[in-house]
Structure 1
């Protein structure tokens, strides 16, 4: 099936979206990513999002740190056991195996990459490349462009514009091509991504770009050297309606 072919319809005049990313889970729930228990952090984030009365939740990629099948099963179990009562969709990160993500897309986890509403659409882009850096295939960009026919917001894993940080060496390599494709439609009002393990807001031409922090660990901003800062888990809340978008980041340990 083509990436954007299957659509999830939400017949409301406003959609509340939870966006979380970069869980970096292990096969064992006690696994730690640079001293942080990532399963416990994800469980905390899921519990908080469950209180937001979201219509849909989107996972921004990098589910796994140890690349085990068991880590995907752990993610599915944590989502299933959470109090979330809405669909959970996903985009793949550079750490992820799309086939394994598809295997766990049952129950609360949905495989859809397009969400339609009376006032607009949400599109989930595949930025997974051959290396940790991202890449969007030309055919994928063409399909994306064909589906942007009304007010739209877009989600991807990799950041398409430099953040002046360590992960710029693993950014979306054809980011300008994606960004120009989106802006040229005159329909896209926001791009959301994960991958960079902190909160950022940028602009490309007229397009706002929002980075959502990780549920695992955050990275120090504006340094080319890898530096961890343990700020606790976070997620982003987005309200999308006919008037556009409003968004804020929710830090859980502040």
Structure 2
């Protein structure tokens, strides 16, 4: 089984348009490539774009016939997104988080749209990690420190509290996130963290403040085949 991870589209935002990026062209190319590779599932890791982008974003996913899940990033607002899409998994909540399981993994999806982890989510997470299965954690912000400029400048409040909860799990925890607009892999004890590059624009890893690195775009393929877990980034040039 393979899952496509896509993040940080930033459609209908000045951030992308002023840098000569067309998020909708990128979105079309990425979705077409996912379909061409025969991948059936997509997890979008947050930062859809402005509210004006929501309807077109979800329409494109619906038309793709892909099985999709969406979590929220710091450029998304729960009250706005639910006007276009509200999965049954969050119908009784005012934050966008849930979990599910299959025979191999427990998957947990968290909401960091407020740039923090609420006490409600943290308490819920403490209960959810009480499982004998390895965990796949899908979240917009990184939990482990990458020492990159984007994370230092735009951190997640409560990230260390989340890390401490994950460290109590006696099995591997695989964190998949975005937010940084770069490719990164970090580990600490039982936690491995994979950052997927942006579907719109990339940021310099180290600089005095966050600066654009290039306007190539990408998504990640997560591969569960043959009892192993690995991934690769699919890159596209700006002119493709």
What TM-score does the superposition give when structure 2 sets the normalisation length? 0.84
Question: 1:145 and 1:188 mapped to 2: Cα distance?
Answer: 15
**Over aligned residues, Cα RMSD in angstroms?**
2.4
Q: Which residue of 1 aligns with 2:123?
A: 142
Listed as ranges, the gaps of 5+ residues in structure 1 are 1-14
Alignment length (residue pairs): 226
Summarize deviations over 1:131-168 as a string: whole Å, max 9, x none: xxx21122212212322312210010112233333322
Residue 92 (structure 2) aligns with:
none
Q: Which has the higher helix share?
A: 2
User: Does structure 2 retain, via aligned residues, the 8 Å contact 1:160–1:173?
Assistant: no
Deviation, structure 1 residue 40:
0.8
Matches within 5 A, 1:126-205: 126-129=111-114, 134-148=115-129, 149=131, 150-167=133-150, 168-205=152-189
* Superposition deviation, residue 242 in structure 1: 8.5
When residues 27 and 171 of structure 1 are mapped into structure 2, their CA distance, relative to the original with a 3 A threshold, is closer
2:67 corresponds to which of 53, 63, 87: 87
Confirm or deny: 8 A CA contact 2:42 2:67 kept in the other structure. Answer: yes
Would you say the 8 A contact 1:20–1:215 is kept in 2?
A: yes
Separation in structure 2 between the aligned mates of residue 105 and residue 53 of structure 1, nearest angstrom: 25
- Relative to structure 1, the CA distance from residue 59 to residue 125 in structure 2 (aligned partners, 3 Å threshold; closer, same or farther) is same
Equivalent residues of 1:198, 1:218 under 8 A apart: yes
Q: Secondary structure at the match of 1:72?
A: helix
Deviation sequence 1:178-197 (CA, Å, 0-9, x none)? 11211211234310111000
Return the alpha-carbon distance in structure 1 between the equivalents of residues 216 and 184 of structure 2: 16
CA deviations on 1:36-88 (whole Å, 9 max, x unpaired) are 11111111111111223334211111111xx33x2101211222333xx3321
Q: How far is the alpha carbon of 1:16 from its aligned partner?
A: 1.6
